[in-house]
């Protein structure tokens, strides 16, 4: 993967996926591991001592009622919570055998390895090509940008629809196309993990279904971690499901079929069957 660039002096460290530090290496097949993770906003605790290992090249869904900490947990993985002044993180989030909160990890380099897609499609007011190429240019990518743009748009199942209008504004696309453009932008720097925070909740059912199909394809190459309010969606697209309940407690984490068909915790069954939440 790409190296750090000289045009941004803040970028000092590339997170190594193949660290030689065996003592810190996660078990084989684990993309991301949280260890005793606690997160606070001021005095309020949003994540309560969460430990979990997220498998690579699978879809892992984070579900639970509003305010239970799903987005907070997701944002810890690529340190997006750094932007929130009152947010304090304790514990480890391991990626590539390294705690992403270590002092020598550069968050910008980390976010190239762990990309993010948000609830509301947020393309830049730029051409389709420039939206996808944006991150590559910033990082000083020295390969063929047009080729990478094409690959990324194909990877996001958007190429056939936009290949003749690459110079048109990304804002002229439909909501579903804009979200796939944002996915193309996220995969352009060739990340290992893609975080998705309710990526279909602002879309109509047809557009949402296309994104669901795409997520399935993405998991062949990337680790996908998705927050969703839609339990049917979690059941349809994920391999593993983590159920958070009020106070940021991870109550159950297992294969998706097990969570939806035979959960261990009564509280999870009550949540899944709509008794609360």
Least separation in angstroms between CB 201 and ligand ATP: 10
Contacts of 189 (CB under 8 A, 6+ apart): 2, 112, 115, 135, 136, 139, 141
Distances (CA, A) of 87 to 8, 79, 114, 153, 194: 26, 11, 20, 35, 22
Least separation in angstroms between CB 44 and ligand ATP: 6
Comparing CB distances to ligand ATP, the nearer of 64 and 155 is 64
Least separation in angstroms between CB 273 and ligand ATP: 19
- Tallying the residues shown for the chain, one arrives at 277
Least separation in angstroms between CB 68 and ligand ATP: 4
Comparing CB distances to ligand ATP, the nearer of 87 and 108 is 87
CB of 73 within 8 A of CB of 37? yes
Give the distance from CA 99 to its chain's centroid.
17
Give the torsion through C-alpha atoms of 148, 150, 151, 155, to 10 deg: 130
Contact set for ligand ATP, span 197-226 (CB under 6 A): none
Residue span 96-115 as binding mask against ligand ATP, x where in contact by CB under 6 A, dash where not = --------------------
Comparing CB distances to ligand ATP, the nearer of 29 and 247 is 247
Helices (DSSP H) in 139-191: which residue ranges? 145-155, 159-162, 175-187
**Distance between CA atoms of residues 257 and 174, nearest Å:** 34
Comparing CB distances to ligand ATP, the nearer of 91 and 140 is 91
Under rule CB under 6 A, residue 247 binds ligand ATP: no
Least separation in angstroms between CB 227 and ligand ATP: 6
The burial class, CB within 10 Å (0-12 / 13-18 / 19+), for 91 is middle
Contact set for ligand ATP, span 34-93 (CB under 6 A): 41, 46, 64, 66-72, 84, 86
Least separation in angstroms between CB 73 and ligand ATP: 7
Comparing CB distances to ligand ATP, the nearer of 46 and 235 is 46
Residues that bind ligand ATP (CB under 6 A): 41, 46, 64, 66-72, 84, 86
């Amino acid at each position: 993967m790409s190296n750090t660039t000289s045009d941004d002096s803040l970028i000092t460290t590339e997170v190594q996926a193949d660290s030689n530090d065996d003592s810190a290496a996660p078990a084989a097949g684990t993309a991301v591991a949280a260890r005793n993770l606690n997160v606070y906003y001021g005095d309020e605790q949003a994540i309560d001592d969460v430990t979990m290992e997220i498998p690579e090249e699978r879809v892992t869904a984070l579900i639970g009622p509003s305010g239970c900490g799903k987005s907070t947990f997701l944002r810890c993985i690529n340190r997006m919570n750094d932007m929130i002044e009152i947010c304090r993180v304790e514990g480890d989030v391991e990626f590539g055998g390294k705690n992403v909160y270590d002092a020598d990890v550069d968050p910008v380099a980390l976010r190239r390895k762990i990309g993010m897609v948000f609830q509301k499609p947020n393309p830049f007011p730029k051409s389709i090509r420039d939206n996808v190429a944006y991150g590559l240019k910033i990082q000083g990518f020295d390969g063929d940008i047009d080729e990478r743009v094409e690959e990324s748009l194909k990877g996001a199942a958007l190429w056939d629809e936009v290949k003749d209008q690459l110079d048109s504004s990304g804002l002229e696309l439909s909501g579903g196309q804009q979200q796939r453009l944002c996915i193309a932008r996220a995969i352009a720097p060739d990340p290992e993990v893609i975080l998705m925070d309710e990526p279909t909740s602002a879309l109509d059912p047809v557009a949402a279904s296309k994104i669901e199909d795409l997520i399935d394809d993405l998991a062949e190459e990337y680790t996908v971690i998705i927050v969703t309010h839609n339990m049917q969606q979690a059941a349809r697209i994920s391999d593993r499901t983590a159920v958070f309940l009020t106070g940021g407690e991870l109550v159950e984490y297992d294969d998706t079929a097990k969570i939806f068909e035979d959960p261990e915790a009564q509280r999870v069954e009550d949540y899944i069957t709509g008794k609360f939440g």
